[in-house]
Amino acid sequence: MQYRGTYIRVDLSAIAENARALRAAIGPTPHMLAVVKANAYGHGLVPVAKAALSSGADWLGVAIPEEGEALRQSGIQAPILVLGAVNEKGARASVRFGLTQAVFDRERVRYLERAASDLNEMARVHLKCDTGMGRIGVRTREELTGVLKEIERCPHVLLTGAFTHMADADGEEADYSLSQIRKFDEMRALLPEGIICHAAASAAAVRYPQARYQMVRQGISLYGCAPVPGTPPVRPALSWHTEIAYVKTVPAGACVSYGCTWQAERETRVATLPVGYGDGYHRALSGKAQVLIGGRRCPVIGRVCMDQIMADVTALPPEDCQIGAPVVLLGRQGQEEIPAEELAAWAGTISYEMLLAATARVPILYDGETEAE
């Protein structure tokens, strides 16, 4: 049961529109993978996956087997790539749920062979190549050929793809990204023909069309954030809402919130909102952020508390700031908008983290649902 008026709203039609636009933009590239890891960037794993698959994506990308398991249990049968490293238990789950697993060393291949043999299944894998990200992946010809030989020795492991990840595709300089593409091309020359190769995510798909190969991975663009100029028109799918819980007038000289970091310079009308860092509204936003009330921007004053924040609503007409009045923390209200990029800049982080910020006690509502369920 939900009582508080603090919630996330996700517009699945925006996800679908974005997926169609991104699919059209990559032209003849055979496959498009929708990255739905981390609860679909905070938008909801299963609903987003279904919306993307119905609108142009034919693969899904997750970070861990648990996410792939949840997708399978929801009835989704599309190919799912686990992009991250797994331990032996994770390898067994990848095989059990028919996931394609990233591999980059002999040990991971052996995990998958044992699991697939035990389960009488085939383990499908994509070989991860580290061309400059520095996380996981084979880095040299020797490492690559070593993993390929291990796969050949494992009758229950089938290599179906290979990929790399661009470290600076949204950067101003192209040299590093071009060097990664060259390294990947050198590695691809050692791979068997007929497999799916992929390197481009949202930014690289725009800036480096030569890196699209047989598949493009669409992440942040799918959710309506344009990582680079030239991104196909996309619109944000997520908005974050709350309501006014209390309004008071404080005199000049009064302090608001912990540490007395904000002091009224004049008589000020203050609205208290039932949301805080316990909900994922970052404490780093203290004294920097703005919220939308009555279609106008109002500054957040004082420190963000665990469960509450305060906003200066002196400039608003009283009728716009009554108890229960709707407030937008992220998204659009009237003609004003607070995009994820702006909220992130106030917090000193990136839009990805802002989309993921809301904690489990903030419910996600989808098209047609109301906050009073």
Helices (H), ranges, the chain: 12-25, 37-42, 45-53, 65-73, 88-96, 106-119, 141-152, 175-188, 202-207, 340-347, 351-356
Beta strands (DSSP E) in the chain are 7-10, 31-35, 59-62, 80-82, 100-103, 123-128, 157-163, 196-198, 215-218, 238-243, 246-250, 255-256, 262-263, 268-273, 290-293, 296-301, 309-312, 326-333, 336-338, 364-366
Q: What is the largest CA-CA distance in the chain?
A: 78
Q: For residue 233, with 0-12 CB atoms within 10 Å meaning exposed, 13-18 middle and 19 or more buried, which class applies?
A: exposed
CA distances from 249 to 188, 271, 300, 314, 319 (A): 67, 9, 15, 9, 15
Residues with Cβ < 8 Å from 69, sequence gap 6 or more? 93, 97
Q: Angle 144-148-149 (CA atoms, 0-180°, nearest 5)?
A: 115
Interatomic CA distance for residues 92 and 109, integer angstroms = 11
Tokens of 282: 């970052």
Residue 37 annotated as catalytic? yes
> What is the token pair recorded at 80?
């799912």
Residue whose structure tokens are 């992009």:
83
Q: Which residue, chain included where needed, has tokens 């912990």? A: 258
Spatial distance between the Cα atoms of 140 and 199, rounded to a whole number of angstroms: 17
The distance in angstroms from the start CA to the end CA of the chain is 7
258 counts as catalytic: yes
Instruction: Round to whole Å and give the CA distance between 281 and 310.
Output: 12
Query: Which residue out of 89, 149, 246, 258 is catalytically annotated?
Result: 258
Which one from 7, 37, 277, 281 is the annotated catalytic residue?
37
**Six-digit token string for 319:** 């009728």
Locus of tokens 């190969």: 213
Cβ burial 82-112 (10 Å sphere, 16+ → b, else e): bbbbbeeebbbbbbbbebbbbbbbbebbbbb
Active site residues: 37, 258
